[in-house]
Structure 1
Amino acid sequence: MQRTYKTPSRTGRQSRRMTTEPLRYDTKIAVLLRADLEIWQRLNVTAFLVSGLGAQLPEVIGEPYEDADGVPYLPMFRQPVLVFEGTKETLTAAHARVLSRALPRAVFTSDLFVTGNDRDNRAAVRAVPTRELDVVGLAVYGPRNAVDKVLKGARMHP
């Protein structure tokens, strides 16, 4: 894999400069949100969804950060997260496709807006059959082409 534009080179003075080399990953991290969500819901759903990918897939996490004064910061994703939006029908179709392709995924349903903790969130999802889930957000990770096929019909979030 090539260096990322966010990762400084490792030699002398260059160690604190960012590279401008373009980077192409063979994988993609994507979030698909239902277009009718309020702004706070979009942000909340995105945060919850990507936390699932980071927790389950250590290969998506980069190295820890450090500023010029040596203050450390937690690592983040090694690659960009692309955010898309679509209709309820787009989300339903994408959910079916991500399941059929068995790609790593996280789901956020409308029921989770009224729960207040992780235990109740899991219970809310478990209570509904797969085909009846009211999916408002979906995160997926995998080969670029496979993720693109899952997201068919969605558009980049404005």
Structure 2
Amino acid sequence: MSVRESDLAALSPGEMLRLDHQVCFALHATSRAFDALYRSLLRDLGLTYPQYLVMLTLWESDGPTVKELGTRLRLDSGTLSPLVKRLEAAGLVERRRSRRDERSVSVHLTAKGGELREQAVRIPPRIAEASGLDLDELRTLHGLLSRMTERLDAAVAPA
């Protein structure tokens, strides 16, 4: 199902341009609320939200290249490199240059980074509880957002 032009034509220009009618703003406001909640929950782990995303990716599959990590997290190297450097300085990850291609660098968990996973496992249930949504609603929302992301990506992809 998609929005039909006739559906949009029924809205006045004033209604169409109301801030509280914008899905993008609802997502922005939700993202800001998530950031604030994650900031308080991650403080004890010594992680920022972007660092947490890197760690989630590594706990799922250790050793991706920096390029693979950036693709997965939708981050450019200018944003990702400082994140990884800070995680490395904290002793949570280590970077390893490929022997076959020295331009390629992979990121690996250290023992300390692996151990942090045991503390981080408390975070998702607290986020879910704070959302006020049940598990089925969260799954539905996740599916809708994933589908929307794919379609928006396709809308701006070069032809």
**TM-score band (shorter)?**
under 0.3
- Larger CA Rg, structure 1 vs 2: 2
Structure with the greater relative contact order (CA < 8 A, sep ≥ 6): 1 or 2? 1
TM norm structure 2: 0.24
TM value normalised by structure 1: 0.24
Larger fraction in strand: 1
Higher helix share: 2
